[in-house]
Amino acid sequence: MAMSIQERRERERAERERLIVTAARELAESEGWDAVTTRRLATEIEYSQPVLYSHFKGKDAIMAAVAVEGCAEIAAEMRAVRESATDPRQVLAGIGAAYAAFAERRPALYDVMFTHIVDLPFATPEAPPALQEAFGEFREAVRPFAGDDNLETLTETFWSGLHGLITLMRNGRLRREDHELRLAILIGRFSN
Amino acid sequence: MAMSIQERRERERAERERLIVTAARELAESEGWDAVTTRRLATEIEYSQPVLYSHFKGKDAIMAAVAVEGCAEIAAEMRAVRESATDPRQVLAGIGAAYAAFAERRPALYDVMFTHIVDLPFATPEAPPALQEAFGEFREAVRPFAGDDNLETLTETFWSGLHGLITLMRNGRLRREDHELRLAILIGRFSN
DNA sequence: CCATCATTCTAGCGCCGCTAGTGTTCCTGT
DNA sequence: ACAGGAACACTAGCGGCGCTAGAATGATGG
């Protein structure tokens, strides 16, 4: 069992890294990102502040790690929806609803994924697989309605529509009551 | 001329308030909102920090004041577009392009208007007139294409689409090159 | 000319993200 | 078994943030 000591150390280190990301995520989801300070996070994981910086370059990198987790989660939820429906219209509507529901259920997670400025590669091949998978779900849902439009671009536009609905509503720019109605209109305009 | 001294004081006070808002806006537009600190702003207007708090409740209130200015500006630009075109399709496309161009030209202003969380009343009768006017421009541009959909709700959805395109692009979530294409797709989906 | 009152300033509070430097602990080679 | 050294986590502190209490300054009216 050569290397076993080093292996144990690396394993413990990896565990602690997950601990940090999980703590950041839970704290953000329960009290918002403003509550996620490096001091608070350090207290939460029962280590001192500088430990965080031995794992991540800074707070932004921690947030980026949380964002990647979120991408995997939303991708899984969208995939489940797409596999459970067959009618293309239902798929598109389901995907849209699932996306919006995710944003509603996990606002902090959604923000760090799509509104906060974190230096994650996005629209490039170097983007995290989870992110590409999530976008792929959108693409497959949109495909049946592409028509003459470029599929990628159409998908981006549909995604933007959802994102706009969500962010404007959450900032208080749109009345909450009409959310479902707006969602239906958006789906309608993209499914014909 | 009774009251003239007091009137002069009030006038000077109002001037200084405008000075604050203008300085905040120019600083934000040239160096971003992160550079707009209360200290920096105080230096810029050549007063001490606490003076800011005798005019505004806090930094958020200053940002809100800047946001209201921005609303008036974008409303004017949209009105100009709407008055210069006649074909409904051209009006909608023009309004969309003008809105996106504004966001591109004045990103800091756009952010404080529509993405930052400032406690301004929005979707209520108490919203600033300038804001209601801007939304009104959208509504009139969308009206010819309302069909069976509720006009207000449709307008909100169209606006959200634009907002999504803009914010996702600016955060690096969408490739910049395809912006015009996406804009065209959105307009197309809302004008038939 | 002085008392009064409004106004503006200096100084400081408790936070933030981040890091230099110190101590401690544990592995290694003899 | 033990000294040397590297790896590690810690304490303490930097500069900057939004904001405010209380001192100093200025103009006003008697």
| For testing contact with chain A, the best of B60, B154, B173 (most A CBs within 10 A) | B173
A190 and chain B: CB distance < 8 Å anywhere? Answer: yes
Do the chains contact at A182 and B160, CB–CB below 8 Å? yes
Q: Is pLDDT of B6 > 80? A: no
User: Where does A1-55 sit in CATH, by number?
Assistant: 1.10.10
Do the chains contact at A185 and B157, CB–CB below 8 Å? yes
Predicted pLDDT of residue A8:
75
What would the mean pLDDT of A126-136 be, rounded to a whole number? 93
Do the chains contact at B159 and A150, CB–CB below 8 Å? no
Q: Is pLDDT of A41 > 80? A: yes
What would the mean pLDDT of B79-99 be, rounded to a whole number? 96
Predicted pLDDT of residue A177:
96
Average per-residue pLDDT for chain A:
94
Q: How far apart are CA A95 and CA A82, in angstroms?
A: 7
- Hunting for tokens 């995290």 — which residue is that? A128
A67-190 placed in CATH 1.10.357.10: yes
Do the chains contact at A174 and B123, CB–CB below 8 Å? yes
B115 and chain A: CB distance < 8 Å anywhere? Answer: yes
Chain segment B90-146, per-residue pLDDT in tens: 999 999 999 999 999 999 999 999 999 888 888 889 999 999 999 999 999 999 999
CA B98 to chain centre: 12
The contacts found for B27-32 with CB under 8 angstroms, 24 or more apart, are B28/B66, B28/B108, B28/B109, B28/B112, B29/B106, B29/B108, B29/B109, B32/B108
Q: Is pLDDT of B11 > 90? A: no
Q: What is the dihedral of CA A97, A99, A105, A106, to 10 degrees?
A: -170
Tell me which residue in B161, B174, B185 faces A154 most closely, judged by beta carbons: B185
Q: Distance of CA B152 to CAs A152, B93, B141, B155, Å?
A: 30, 18, 12, 5
Q: How far apart are CA B145 and CA B191, in angstroms?
A: 6
Tell me which residue in B115, B154, B171 faces A171 most closely, judged by beta carbons: B115
Superfamily of domain B66-190: Tetracycline Repressor, domain 2 (1.10.357.10)
8 A C-beta contact, residue B168 and residue A160? yes
| For testing contact with chain A, the best of B34, B99, B182 (most A CBs within 10 A) | B182
Predicted pLDDT of residue A4:
62
Average per-residue pLDDT for chain B:
94
Scanning every residue of chain A, which has its alpha carbon at the shortest distance from the alpha carbon of B183?
A157
- Residues in A closer than 8 angstroms to B156, CB to CB, are 168, 174, 178, 182
Chain segment A142-183, per-residue pLDDT in tens: 999 999 999 999 999 999 999 999 999 999 999 999 999 999
Scanning every residue of chain A, which has its alpha carbon at the shortest distance from the alpha carbon of B118?
A171
pLDDT band at A121 (very low <50, low <70, confident <90, very high): confident
- Greatest CA separation for chain A: 63
Tell me which residue in A122, A159, A165 faces B157 most closely, judged by beta carbons: A165
**Bases of strand D lying below 7 A from some protein CB:** 8-13, 16-22, 28-29
Instruction: Break chain A into its structural domains and give their ranges.
Output: 1-55, 67-190
Nucleic acid strand C within 7 Å of B54 CB: yes
Q: Is pLDDT of A73 > 70? A: yes
How far away is chain B from the Cα of A134, in angstroms, using its nearest Cα? 13
| Global confidence as pTM | 0.94
- Residues in B closer than 8 angstroms to A114, CB to CB, are 168, 171, 173
Tell me which residue in A114, A116, A164 faces B160 most closely, judged by beta carbons: A164
Q: Is pLDDT of B36 > 80? A: yes
